[in-house]
Amino acid sequence: MKRNLILLTLFMLVQIVFCNAAPFSLTQKQQDSLSAYTGKFQTIQGTPITYAELIIENGKLTARLSNEQTLILKQLSGDNFVVPEQNLAIKFIRDPTDKVVKIAVNGNIE
């Protein structure tokens, strides 16, 4: 009887905690998954653009380039993105620890 009472009390406490938890919005979930791609990336020498800073803006992965141009990246799947307006294919390259360390733009690694 005592065991059943403890289990019932524990069950009720768990229900109260989960009911009071803030709902996890889809936008927040999308931002969390995109946050792995944020950061500042230096480009290959000899190009007019010297860096690209990737940020999340209005729930979208956005690249702010050193030439003051802003591009919105659309995720296709996994680490593969496109910039539809520029007809650019973007692939993020990860190191062995699964951290994004490089960007391949139309096959050119930045």
Q: How far apart are CA 54 and CA 73, in angstroms?
A: 9
Residue 5 above 90 pLDDT? no
Q: pLDDT tens, 17-34?
A: 333 444 444 355 555 689
* 35-88 pLDDT per residue, tens: 999 999 987 766 777 889 999 999 999 999 988 899 999 999 999 999 988 888
Predicted local distance difference test score (pLDDT) of residue 107: 64
Are 40 and 51 spatial neighbours (Cβ–Cβ below 8 Å)?
yes
Look at residue 86 in the predicted model and tell me its pLDDT.
Answer: 86
Write the DSSP assignment of 15-26 as a string of letters: HHHHHHSPP--H
Q: How far apart are CA 42 and CA 40, in angstroms?
A: 7
Name the 3-class secondary structure at 5: helix
Instruction: Give the pLDDT confidence score for residue 110 in this predicted structure.
Output: 56
